[in-house]
């Protein structure tokens, strides 16, 4: 089995229209200069922890807001894509070393504009569990909190200085 994949392209069926609430949300965040925060998503426990940590980071960092990876990646004429591309930087919380979403985001906005975090490298748990349902909700929440707490101090330089 070959464990290395060369760069590849995926053909995605085109779409007409956009998500009205996504358009308003992304346009407002773009106008406000918010940093888009992306996360790994899916049924995997590692991705779920990354997703929850990204939500906490965006909620607790005034200069950031969560971005919809699906709309940014697959609706190229959307405000979500425009916000991601025009932002000075984006934050990516991947669930593991595969960096699936992070690799796509690197190509979408430019690798030099992405601040990557590997949630699994922070918490180091669940290497033998796939489904998030196999870890109790309270434990998932606690580990996501641990990941967010490790990342938040690294993002302090993104925040404007408090002026009294």
pLDDT in tens, 35-59: 999 999 878 999 999 999 999 999 9
pLDDT at residue 11 tops 70: yes
Rounded distance, CA 97 to CA 70, Å? 20
Confidence of residue 113 (pLDDT cuts 50, 70, 90): very high
Rounded distance, CA 162 to CA 164, Å? 7
pLDDT at residue 110 tops 60: yes
Cα 154 off chain centre by:
16
Dihedral, CA of residue 17, residue 19, residue 25 and residue 26, to nearest 10: -50
pLDDT of residue 162: 42
> Can you give the pTM of this predicted structure?
0.91
Confidence of residue 69 (pLDDT cuts 50, 70, 90): very high
The vertex-28 CA angle with 22 and 33, nearest 5°, equals: 125
Tokens at residue 6, please? 């060369």
Predicted confidence (pLDDT) per residue in 115-150, tens digit: 999 999 999 999 999 999 999 999 999 999 999 999
Taking residue 71's Cβ as centre, other Cβ atoms within 10 Å add up to 22
Rounded distance, CA 91 to CA 58, Å? 10
- For the chain, the structural domain boundaries read 53-157
């Amino acid at each position: 089995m070959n464990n290395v994949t060369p760069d590849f392209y995926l053909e995605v069926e085109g779409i007409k229209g956009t998500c009205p609430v996504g358009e308003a949300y992304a346009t407002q965040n773009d106008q406000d200069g918010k940093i888009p925060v992306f996360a790994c998503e899916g049924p995997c426990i590692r991705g779920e922890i990354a997703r929850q940590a990204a939500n906490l980071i965006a909620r607790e960092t005034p200069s950031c807001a969560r971005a919809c990876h699906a709309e940014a990646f697959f609706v190229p004429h959307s405000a979500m894509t425009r916000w991601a591309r025009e932002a000075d930087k984006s934050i990516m919380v991947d669930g593991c070393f595969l960096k699936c979403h992070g690799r796509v985001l690197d190509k979408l906005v430019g690798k030099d504009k992405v601040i990557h975090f590997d949630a699994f490298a922070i918490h180091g748990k669940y290497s033998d569990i796939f489904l998030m349902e196999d870890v109790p909700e309270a434990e998932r929440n606690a580990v996501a909190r641990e990941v967010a707490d490790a990342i938040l101090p690294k993002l302090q330089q993104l925040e404007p200085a408090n002026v009294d």
